[in-house]
Amino acid sequence: MAKTRKESQSDILREARERFDRARDADRVNREEARDDLRFRAGEQWPESIKADRRNSDRPMITINRTPQFVRQVTGDVRLNKPGIKVRPVDDREDPKKAEIFTGLIRNIESVSNAHIAYTTAEDAAATCGIGQFRIVTEFSEDDPFRLDIAIKRIQNPFAVVWDPDATEITKEDAKYLFFTDSMSHEAFKAKFPKADLSSFDTDDIPEHLTSWMTNDEIVVAEYWRKVPIEKEFVLLADGAVRDVTELDEADIQAMQPVDRKTMASHKVEWMILNGDQVLDGPETWDGRFLPFVPVVGEEVHVGDRVVRHGLVRFLKDPNRLYNYWRTTQVETIALQPKAPYVLTPSQINGHENMWADANARNYPYLIYNPDPQSPGAPKREMPPVMSQGMTQEIALAADDMQAVTGIYNAQLGGRSNETSGKAILARERQGDVGTYVYASNLALAIQHAGRILVDLIPHIFDTERAVRLLGEDDSETFETINQLLRDETTGEIKVVNDLSVGKYDVTVTTGPSFNTKRMESASAMMQFVQAAPQTAGLVMDLIAKNMDWPGADEFAKRFRKALPPGIAEPNPDEPPPQPKPPSIPEQLQMMKIAAETGKAKAMSEKMQQETETAKLENLQKELEISASTGGLEEMVRAAVRQTLARVLLEGQQPEQQTVQPSPIPGNGNIGGQSSDA
């Protein structure tokens, strides 16, 4: 059995409080900066001091929030190029079919739990403030309360997870502990945990050891996940397989006939719910060996021992603030300038004052004035307010700065740019994709780690015989039975088919357009090929129709396939083999005629052969008669007798020579005791 250290609840709480305070303090600066990034993206883009000053002075504050479009450019690429988890055998001893079962089962888990929402939520937070999170949970099925299922859930608050500060991997897979926190009011806490003791919290002065866990209004409740050191025992079997036998009895271990045994330090994963003062639930053992939380990191810069974590918004804030300031100043300057008034004399509008007073507010077809000899001509308007060229230039520079700090340019945002040719536009788009690829790459690493968690967890949850649904890349469904007990008809031994707990597998992540997008792109490329080589159209039209995405495309493909020349189309397993067409009446008559002619030819051949044999007998008879008359018949008979005798003797000796190899008799050159004279 696994050996673990025993500890009291007070020891657990002391450890949890120390770890929680250390982890929050170590990441405090990054978390404060990340909160400011989120507020900025949400539209809170003016500093509080400037906002107060402008409100008191009744001055405008214009916020033109251009930040979300840059973030959406990153998350939009993720939505279009969905990462996919693929499981592979580690070596040739593992079963490729089980790797396919793992892959299809993980796709089904992602589909049922809407994992794409968890992925994009985490990626959105990573692009905004530098980190996002999602988690993997086990929960009972809605229609079967006795069956556990696996789901991937999103975490809306990126600051809810507090990680072990000693973890150095970007996926935090080397973390020894984490906290998943939630702040709730005292009333909500009492409703959720009615048996909890709140005596430590119902005081005017918060105890020092609980200052991180409560305020006057809220209590922090946390899931505390940790890796507990244990010792595990492994055995090496004759076929080279390695098995974990930590939980097995000695008799079961000996039944496996191990060739070697080894004990090594390892860990198990525990979780509990606590509030800093007491353990509210647990500890419970988690089935897997990984902490089931996955961070998605934006960018990290290591400054000595300090890690600076950020997303797109961190360095986008200053140019966006400049943009807001100059746009506000421009509007304010123009608004403070007088409107374009009329220049006139009092006598010119004498008697028409009301009309001229409303001239800027009402749409008069004409304006009446009195001629004034002292001011010849009609009243004139002054020039309208003119925008400052310097302000306009500053606004343009701020917009360019936003593109420069993010690496995302007009060509990617759908706006007009300096590029005029298609190649130049595509080159600028690729440049922007490269500039932000770090976000897609880090998400792929996070999903790859999630795949490892699932591969490790699935054998513990899917540990009984059951039929599972597997999803293909094109969302096609198949069903496979796992952990099925079958008896070998030859040996009578009972074997487990598709035992997911046996074998070692690793995980890769593929990124690219969705399957439907690939189909449409393939169809478009095929059409371009056919336009370049029209003579090939009749040979590939079934493939083009098969990749189209409109009702009836499959029927088109079937009909085109039937029109292909013989030898071009591969047999389709989904279609029944073509039945032979019955011959028509003229064809049947022709076949009967051919059969009749064939019968006549055969009869003539047999007749000719018979006549040839008769001629041979007649010639032999004539030779015998001639030999008898000349005295040569006796010599012919002797020769025939010698030939027959030699053949009989040779046939009698052949089997003995093939099966018996006697050794030579000393002093005699004969072999097998037979004389050479014979």
Nearest Cα neighbor of 495 from 506, 504, 503, 484 is 484
pTM check: above 0.75: no
Is the omega angle on the peptide bond into residue 283 within 30 degrees of 0, that is, cis? yes
Rounded mean pLDDT, 475-502: 82
pLDDT category at 671 given cuts 50, 70, 90 is: very low
pLDDT given for residue 154 in this prediction:
95
| DSSP H or E run through 98 | helix 96-112
Tell whether the model's pLDDT for residue 297 goes beyond 60: yes
pLDDT given for residue 134 in this prediction:
96
pLDDT given for residue 663 in this prediction:
39
169-192 per-position pLDDT tens digit = 999 999 999 999 999 888 888 888
pLDDT category at 335 given cuts 50, 70, 90 is: confident
Q: How do beta strands 306-310 and 299-303 pair? A: antiparallel
11-54 per-position pLDDT tens digit = 999 999 999 999 999 999 999 999 999 999 999 999 988 989 98
Nearest Cα neighbor of 540 from 569, 578, 566 is 569
315 or 584: which carries more pLDDT confidence?
Answer: 315
Q: Residue holding tokens 């018979």?
A: 610
523 or 264: which carries more pLDDT confidence?
Answer: 264
Tell whether the model's pLDDT for residue 433 goes beyond 70: no
Tell whether the model's pLDDT for residue 148 goes beyond 70: yes
Cβ(122)–Cβ(442) under 8 Å? no
Type of residue at 558: K
pLDDT given for residue 232 in this prediction:
85
Residues 6+ away with beta carbon under 8 Å from 507: 85, 86, 87, 88, 448, 451, 452, 455
Rounded mean pLDDT, 252-279: 88
Tell whether the model's pLDDT for residue 340 goes beyond 80: no
Tell whether the model's pLDDT for residue 672 goes beyond 60: no
Collapse the DSSP code of 127 into the 3-class scheme (helix H, G, I; strand E, B; otherwise coil) and give the result. Answer: helix
pLDDT category at 627 given cuts 50, 70, 90 is: low
Alpha-carbon span 407 to 290, nearest angstrom: 36
pLDDT category at 616 given cuts 50, 70, 90 is: low
> Contacts by 5-9 with C-beta closer than 8 Å and gap 24+?
5/228, 5/229, 9/278, 9/279
| DSSP H or E run through 390 | helix 389-406
pLDDT given for residue 668 in this prediction:
39
* % of the chain residues with pLDDT over 70: 75
CB count, 10 Å around CB of 163?
20
Rounded mean pLDDT, 296-325: 92
pLDDT given for residue 531 in this prediction:
76
Q: Which residues of 54-79 are buried (b: 16+ CB within 10 A; e: fewer)?
A: eeeeeeeebeeebbebbbebbbebbe
Alpha-carbon span 130 to 296, nearest angstrom: 8
356-407 per-position pLDDT tens digit = 888 877 888 888 888 988 888 888 877 766 777 888 888 888 888 888 888 7
pLDDT category at 338 given cuts 50, 70, 90 is: low
Type of residue at 419: E
The dihedrals phi and psi of 565, each to the nearest 5 degrees, come to -65, 155
pLDDT given for residue 106 in this prediction:
94
78-103 per-position pLDDT tens digit = 787 788 899 988 876 677 888 899 99
